[in-house]
Structure 1
Amino acid sequence: MQVHLSFIAAIVAFSAYVAAAPTAAALIKRGESYSGTATWYKPATEGGPKGACDGQHIDDDSPIVALNKDQYGDLDSKSDMCGSKIKIKGEAGEATATIVDACPECHHGDLDLTPTLFKKVVGDMDIGEGDITWEVV
């Protein structure tokens, strides 16, 4: 009986820990700036024309981004960050975009941009990547 009660107590403690774990949205705060690397992808041919957020249609010219896996959260679910508007700044300029996809290869702070956004923010696509800062607006 003692082992059984200890097991139940462990399950209750673990459940409380999981319930208290912050969601991706809780980790990203409006007005707080994040830095990382911008890369680019073509949604129509790389990953498919439907974003991770509700399967919304996306194309290479849409002002959308794929959020890194750490800040997106569970890649098998819709993130709390889906639909959030962000301002991205890079060496070539700045742009406003919407989070509608996830980037499994990206690290905390990184964004995967459509070619249109990459050109506005980073510049020449032949570079392949560039330093950025971004924030939720």
Structure 2
Amino acid sequence: MSALLTTVLLALALPFTHAAPSKLHVRSSSGDLTYYHPNVGLGACGKQYSDSSLVAAVSAELYDAIKPCGRSIRVTGPGGTVDVAVVDRCEGCAYSDLDLSPAAFNQAVGELGLGRKTGTWEWI
């Protein structure tokens, strides 16, 4: 048997694996938009912000994986678009959800009374 044929047969015998792309490398996503009060204590990035700051918390899973302190996200909701800085982690958020400051939530959703709406976001 030729060396080339042996190499081809060995390559065919090896298991083929194809890893799914990592969620962490997603450029944009969609999820629930909620709001929180960043002035209650220090955020995960070590600073305190006011309700009027344009900031957000990402899911604990995403935060722990990439430590995005200070990175910016463009959020689009039913009320408009707003750019926010990531300053905290959200324990109760699903992977693609964002918890926004009241000021950011008002710009993206429209009003705090709406509580939870679906939106899209992307790293900028």
TM-score (norm 2): 0.76
- What is the CA distance between 1:109 and its match in structure 2? 0.5
- What is the CA distance between 1:125 and its match in structure 2? 0.8
Q: Which residue of 2 aligns with 1:14?
A: none
Aligned partner letter, 1:69: A
CA distance in 2, matches of 1:123, 1:83: 24
**Residue 39 of structure 2: which of 44, 65, 82 is its match?**
44
What SS is found at the alignment partner of 2:53? coil
**Structure 1: which 5+ residue stretches go unaligned?**
1-23
Written as runs of structure 1 = structure 2, the 5 A alignment for 1:10-25 is: none
Aligned partner letter, 1:35: S
Aligned partner letter, 1:64: V
- What is the CA distance between 1:116 and its match in structure 2? 0.3
**Residue 106 of structure 1: which of 86, 93, 100 is its match?**
93
2:55 maps to 1:60: no
Could you say which structure has the larger radius of gyration?
2
Q: Which residue of 2 aligns with 1:82?
A: 69
- What is the CA distance between 1:58 and its match in structure 2? 1.1
Q: Does the 8 A contact of 1:28 with 1:71 survive in 2?
A: no
2:28 maps to 1:33: yes
CA distance in 1, matches of 2:77, 2:84: 13
Aligned partner letter, 2:74: K
TM-score (norm 1): 0.70
**Residue 125 of structure 1: which of 96, 104, 112 is its match?**
112
CA distance in 2, matches of 1:108, 1:38: 12
CA distance in 2, matches of 1:44, 1:100: 12
Q: Which residue of 2 aligns with 1:95?
A: 82
Q: Does the 8 A contact of 1:39 with 1:130 survive in 2?
A: yes
Aligned partner letter, 1:130: K
Deviation track 1:56-85 (CA, whole Å, cap 9, x = no partner) reads 1211111110111121116xxxx5211111
- % identical aligned pairs: 36
Aligned partner letter, 2:48: H
